[in-house]
Amino acid sequence: MTRPIQTPLLSVKDLTIAFGRGARRNLAVQDLSYDLYPGETLAIVGESGSGKSVSSMALLGLLPPRAATIEDGSAMFDGRDLLHLTEGEIRGIRGDRITMIFQEPMTSLTPVLRIGLQLTEALVEHKGMSSAQAEARAKEMLELVGLDNPDRRLKQFPHELSGGMRQRVMIAMAMAADPAILIADEPTTALDVTVQAQILDLMRDLKTRFGTSIILITHDMGVVAEMADRVVVMNRGRKIEEGTVAQIFADPQEAYTKKLLDAVPRLGAFAAAAAPRSVVADPVAVSGRLLHTQGMNKTFRESGFFASKSGGTAAMQDVGFDLDAGETLALVGESGSGKSTTGRAVLRLLELDSGVIEIDGTDMRKLSTGGVRKARRQMQMIFQDPFASLNPRISAGRLVAEPMVIHGLCSGKEMEDRVEQLFLRVGLEADHIRRYPHEFSGGQRQRLSIARALSVNPKLIVADEPTSALDVSVQAQVLELMLELQQSLGLAYLFISHDMAVVEEVSHRVAVMRRGRIVEIGPRQAVLNDPRHPYTRALLAAVPVPDPERTRGALPVIDAANLPMGALAEVAPQHMVARP
């Protein structure tokens, strides 16, 4: 795509950023240069730790002053160098002329303030709106990003929303000010594919209507192909390749770029295979059925002055499925559909209103607190947000060792060797053991979470978006690792994901959830290649295509919530498979 005009809106030249000083000095970004033009979307791609997010945060003065130093370079915007403005000057630009969507919404939103205050604050400060005007604009933006009942959402706190909902709030905050530049740092990481498609359409509409330029930081090459005009590829802090999106996808010049593209999972790549990937032939039936659930129900009830009179939110309604040892069942669906609630209920991290959960023949709901702790050696969870799930005061090595200490598995030199082995196996380095969570990139923190989950050799792992924070090359490595562990150890995975290409790659069976119910379940091939439920078809139609020559089709307009129960009952059983 040709550039709208030849005068750049933002010009970054020779940007160099270091963390630490003296012997501990580490160059995070080296001699980075690029231009951003009005109305253009520039994608910055690369592995975790390549300097993508650091370089963009430097533009808005968001790097920690005691840890990071901008050693060289300039970033010209509106005739001013962003890198050399005072805090007061950059504050006048940040959140108004240039806004940013962060990768981890839970750590970016203030946990003690209601969503409404956080949405309206910048509008009052930068746009001079009255409280009423700002609230009206906030409601409009919440509707645009696909959140229902905006009046209620404005009164909620961040912890009351799912991960995907929190990310939509972040996007609404960034878009509300009609910025000249929108820096989107993994803006769709936590979103299911249908909402991701809506958000990408919305960002394109904003770009068209207001001439907004977008810096898109992402590891999702499908999103890059769909959204970007030009691409900058970074590796170890340096720009190694730059070109139009068509050039990068059709004729990459660098081996590293080719590796990134080769690692992209593509929906349909395993359509002809009966099992996920080539390393797994069939589920390894170590001990037959491992997990049995039936009739699980959970309603979250509100309390306080703003509590709804509707009786609460039904997060799970009559949910049930079985899972064999060595098998992967993928749970897919929209944010708020009940996927994560289901995963937490299976591990008894929350209490059901009713239902049956049996793991290895043990009725989990009848266990005492001590019994549950003992049973947790057999079952572990990888959470969606690694930063929120890791204790920031404990070193990475101690975090991985902690479950082994709790269950008395090993100690001393044996434990040290086991920890180092786990670090290496998930793609971390031995010298990372002494670091703390804040010293890792988002993808590295997720790898740390996976190592922690594997430390007690569990039989069942509930993986809640385990690769959502990972770049494509590391994602491929982690998926290979999970599949190899499954084959060698007979691990069972309840795999929660919004990435349909990844689901196709790793799952034996797929369950589709919508508004707390399983609306379709069956073998991977049947559900993905011949979906019967209209919502399943909508999920598949929304998947980004990692090819700039192909375009995603229009999203089907459905309202599965209003389908009669008879329609749901007729659809699902055709793919229901009786477990042996």
Q: Residues 427-442: pLDDT tens digits?
A: 888 888 989 988 887 6
For residue 63, which of 94, 35, 34, 22 has the smallest C-alpha distance?
94
**Residue 192, exposed/middle/buried by CB under 10 A (0-12, 13-18, 19+)?**
buried
Q: Which two tokens stand for residue 399?
A: 């975090």
Measured at the alpha carbon of residue 427, what is the angle toward residues 423 and 429, in degrees to the nearest 5? 55
Positions of E strands within 20-67? 26-36, 41-45
Residue 448 CB contacts under 8 Å (≥ 6 apart), including other chains: 386, 390, 396, 399, 400, 426, 428, 437, 440
Q: Which two tokens stand for residue 528?
A: 């993905």
Does the pLDDT value for residue 239 go beyond 80?
Answer: yes
- C-alpha to C-alpha distances, 54 to 111, 125, 259, nearest whole angstrom: 24, 26, 23
Which stretches of 129-162 are DSSP H helices? Answer: 131-144, 150-155
User: CA-to-CA distance for 118 and 120, rounded, in angstroms?
Assistant: 6
The phi-psi region of residue 338 (left if phi > 0; otherwise alpha if psi is between -120 and 50; otherwise beta) is left
Q: Terminus-to-terminus CA distance in the chain, angstroms?
A: 55
User: CA-to-CA distance for 9 and 52, rounded, in angstroms?
Assistant: 19
C-beta neighbour count of 564 within 10 angstroms: 8
Strand order in the sheet with 289-300: 313-324, 289-300, 354-359, 362-363
The phi-psi region of residue 73 (left if phi > 0; otherwise alpha if psi is between -120 and 50; otherwise beta) is left
269 falls in which pLDDT band (50, 70, 90)? Answer: low
Q: Give pLDDT tens digits for 490-533.
A: 889 999 987 788 888 899 999 999 889 999 999 998 999 889 89
Angle between helices 193-210 and 163-175 (to 10 degrees): 0
pTM of the model: 0.72
Span 72-87, average pLDDT: 94
576 falls in which pLDDT band (50, 70, 90)? Answer: very low
C-beta neighbour count of 449 within 10 angstroms: 27
Coil, helix or strand at residue 129: coil
Does the pLDDT value for residue 470 go beyond 50?
Answer: yes
- State the virtual CA torsion across 195, 198, 203, 206 in degrees, nearest 10: -140
Span 248-260, average pLDDT: 91
Positions of E strands within 310-353? 313-324, 328-333
In percent, how much of the chain has pLDDT > 70? 87
Coil, helix or strand at residue 77: strand
283 falls in which pLDDT band (50, 70, 90)? Answer: very low
User: CA-to-CA distance for 75 and 267, rounded, in angstroms?
Assistant: 39
Q: For residue 18, which amino acid is it? A: A
Of the CA atoms within 13 Å of residue 362, those in its CB half-sphere come to 16
Top pLDDT among 335 and 401 is at: 401
For residue 495, which of 363, 332, 352 has the smallest C-alpha distance?
332
Residue 392 CB contacts under 8 Å (≥ 6 apart), including other chains: 436, 437, 438
Lowest-confidence region among 79-88, 145-154, 226-235: 145-154
- CB 276, CB 483: distance < 8 Å: yes
User: CA-to-CA distance for 397 and 430, rounded, in angstroms?
Assistant: 9
User: CA-to-CA distance for 65 and 44, rounded, in angstroms?
Assistant: 24
User: CA-to-CA distance for 478 and 216, rounded, in angstroms?
Assistant: 24
For residue 22, what pLDDT is reported? 79
Q: For residue 107, which amino acid is it? A: T
Helix (H) or strand (E) holding 75: strand 68-77
Report the chain's mean pLDDT, rounded to a whole number. 83
Question: Residue 13 phi/psi, 5° resolution?
Answer: -130, 125
Angle between helices 472-489 and 255-262 (to 10 degrees): 50
Does the pLDDT value for residue 15 go beyond 90?
Answer: yes
- State the virtual CA torsion across 104, 110, 114, 116 in degrees, nearest 10: -70
- CB 323, CB 291: distance < 8 Å: yes
Angle between helices 442-454 and 396-406 (to 10 degrees): 20
